[in-house]
Chains A and B, each alone.
Chain A
Amino acid sequence: MTTTLTRPRLKRTVRSAFGTAPRPAWQERPKPATQTAKGAGIMVILAVVLVPLYAIALTSVSTQASINIAGGLVLWPHGITFTAYSLIISGGVVGRALLVSLIITVVGTAFSMLITILAAYGLSRAGSFGHRPILLTMMFTMFFNGGVIPLFLVVSALGGYDQYWALILPSAVSVFNILVMRSFFSNIAMELIESARIDGASEWMILWRIVLPASKAVTAVIALFYAVGYWNSWFNIMLFMPADSSKWPLQMVMYNYVTEGMSMAGSGITNIGSNLGQQQIAPLSLQMAVVVLTVVPILIAYPFVQKHFTKGVLLGAVKG
Chain B
Amino acid sequence: MATEASPRSRVSPAPRERAARRARPRRTEGSGRTGPSWRVRLRRDKTLILMTLPALVLLVVFGYAPMAGLVMAFQQYNVYNGMLYSPWVGLANFSELLSDPAFWHSFWNTLLLFSVQMLLFFPVPIALAILLDGLLSTRIKALVQSVTALPHFFSWVLVITIFQKMIGGAGLLPQFLRQHGVANPVDLMANPSTFKFLVSAQLIWKEAGWNTIVFLAALAAISPSLYEAAAVDGASWRQRTWHITLPGLKGITVLLLILNLGYALTFGFEQMLIQRGAVGPNSAEVLTTFSYIYGIVNGNYSYGAAAGLFLGLTSLILILAANRVAHAFGEDGLYRR
Residues of A whose CB lies within 8 Å of any CB of B are: 17-24, 26-28, 30, 38, 41-42, 45-46, 48-50, 52-53, 55-56, 70-73, 75, 114-116, 118-119, 121-123, 125-131, 134, 137-139, 141-155, 158, 169-173, 175, 178, 183, 186-187, 190, 202-204, 207, 228, 231-235, 238-239, 251, 254-255, 258-260, 262-263, 288, 291, 294-295, 298-299, 301-302, 305-306, 309-310, 313-314, 316-319
Give which listed residue, B46, B52, B157, B309, contacts A123 with CB less than 8 A: B52
**Chain B positions within 8 Å of A147 at CB level:** 66, 70, 291, 305, 308-309, 311-312
Nearest B residue to A189 by beta-carbon distance?
A: B16
Q: Which of B2-10, B98-106, B108-116 contacts A (4 or more CB under 8 A)?
A: B2-10
**Chain A positions within 8 Å of B336 at CB level:** 319
Chain B interface category by residue count: 35 or more
Nearest A residue to B146 by beta-carbon distance?
A: A306
**Chain B positions within 8 Å of A149 at CB level:** 69, 72, 291-292, 295-296, 301, 304-305, 308
Q: Which of B136-144, B192-200, B241-249 contacts A (4 or more CB under 8 A)?
A: B136-144
A26-B227, A235-B273 given as contacts; is B162 within 8 A of A71 (CB)? no
B153 touches A118 (CB 8 A): no
Most buried by B among A72, A172, A203: A72
B contacts with A: majority SS: helix
CA of A171 to CA of B24, assembled, Å: 35
A55 touches B165 (CB 8 A): yes
A154 touches B65 (CB 8 A): yes
Apart from A48-B205, A128-B49, A316-B1: 11 A-B pairs, beta carbons within 8 A = A18-B139, A123-B52, A127-B27, A129-B38, A131-B45, A145-B66, A151-B62, A254-B158, A259-B164, A263-B277, A298-B154
Give which listed residue, A150, A207, A228, contacts B153 with CB less than 8 A: A228
CA of A154 to CA of B141, assembled, Å: 48
A127 touches B47 (CB 8 A): no
**Chain B positions within 8 Å of A295 at CB level:** 154, 158
Q: Does B118 contact A (CB under 8 A)?
A: no
Give which listed residue, B17, B162, B213, contacts A52 with CB less than 8 A: B162
Interface membership of chain B positions 178-214, coded 1 if the CB is closer than 8 angstroms to chain A and 0 otherwise = 1100000000011000000000000001000110011
A73 touches B172 (CB 8 A): yes
CA of A170 to CA of B139, assembled, Å: 42
B139 touches A73 (CB 8 A): no
A236–chain B nearest beta-carbon distance, Å = 10
**Chain A positions within 8 Å of B48 at CB level:** 121-123, 125, 128-129, 131, 203
Most buried by A among B69, B168, B277: B69
Nearest B residue to A21 by beta-carbon distance?
A: B136
Q: Does B44 contact A (CB under 8 A)?
A: yes
Nearest B residue to A17 by beta-carbon distance?
A: B139
Q: Does B170 contact A (CB under 8 A)?
A: yes
A26-B227, A56-B162, A154-B62 given as contacts; is B278 within 8 A of A319 (CB)? no
**Chain B positions within 8 Å of A142 at CB level:** 334
CA of A178 to CA of B295, assembled, Å: 31
Interface membership of chain B positions 149-174, coded 1 if the CB is closer than 8 angstroms to chain A and 0 otherwise = 11101111110111011101111100
A302 touches B153 (CB 8 A): yes
A71-B175, A251-B157 given as contacts; is B316 within 8 A of A143 (CB)? yes
B154 touches A232 (CB 8 A): yes
**Chain A positions within 8 Å of B189 at CB level:** 263
**Chain A positions within 8 Å of B162 at CB level:** 52-53, 56, 291
A306-B146, A317-B2 given as contacts; is B161 within 8 A of A254 (CB)? yes
Q: List 17 A-B contacts (CB under 8 A).
A: A19-B138, A19-B140, A21-B138, A45-B128, A73-B165, A115-B54, A127-B27, A128-B28, A147-B309, A183-B13, A186-B20, A204-B47, A207-B51, A310-B217, A316-B2, A318-B2, A319-B332
Nearest B residue to A202 by beta-carbon distance?
A: B47
Q: Does B63 contact A (CB under 8 A)?
A: yes
**Chain B positions within 8 Å of A318 at CB level:** 2, 9, 13
Most buried by B among A148, A154, A175, A299: A148
Question: What 4 A-B pairs have minimum CB-CB distances, sorted nearest first?
Answer: A146-B66, A147-B308, A150-B69, A317-B2
Give which listed residue, A42, A122, A125, A258, contacts B140 with CB less than 8 A: A42
**Chain B positions within 8 Å of A288 at CB level:** 165
A187 touches B155 (CB 8 A): no
**Chain A positions within 8 Å of B20 at CB level:** 126, 186, 190
B52 touches A122 (CB 8 A): yes
B160–chain A nearest beta-carbon distance, Å = 6
Q: Does B148 contact A (CB under 8 A)?
A: yes
Nearest B residue to A142 by beta-carbon distance?
A: B334
A314 touches B217 (CB 8 A): yes
B150 touches A49 (CB 8 A): yes
Q: Which of B265-293 contact A (CB under 8 A)?
A: 269-270, 273-274, 277-278, 288, 291-292
**Chain B positions within 8 Å of A50 at CB level:** 147
CA of A28 to CA of B232, assembled, Å: 11
B201–chain A nearest beta-carbon distance, Å = 10
A20-B138, A147-B305 given as contacts; is B65 within 8 A of A118 (CB)? no
B2 touches A150 (CB 8 A): no
A61–chain B nearest beta-carbon distance, Å = 15
B255–chain A nearest beta-carbon distance, Å = 10
B157–chain A nearest beta-carbon distance, Å = 5
A203-B47, A262-B170 given as contacts; is B137 within 8 A of A20 (CB)? yes
Nearest B residue to A141 by beta-carbon distance?
A: B63
A263 touches B169 (CB 8 A): yes
**Chain B positions within 8 Å of A125 at CB level:** 28, 45, 48
B227 touches A169 (CB 8 A): no
CA of A22 to CA of B314, assembled, Å: 53
**Chain A positions within 8 Å of B274 at CB level:** 234, 255, 259
Nearest B residue to A207 by beta-carbon distance?
A: B51
Q: Which of B53-86 contact A (CB under 8 A)?
A: 54-56, 58-59, 61-70, 72, 83
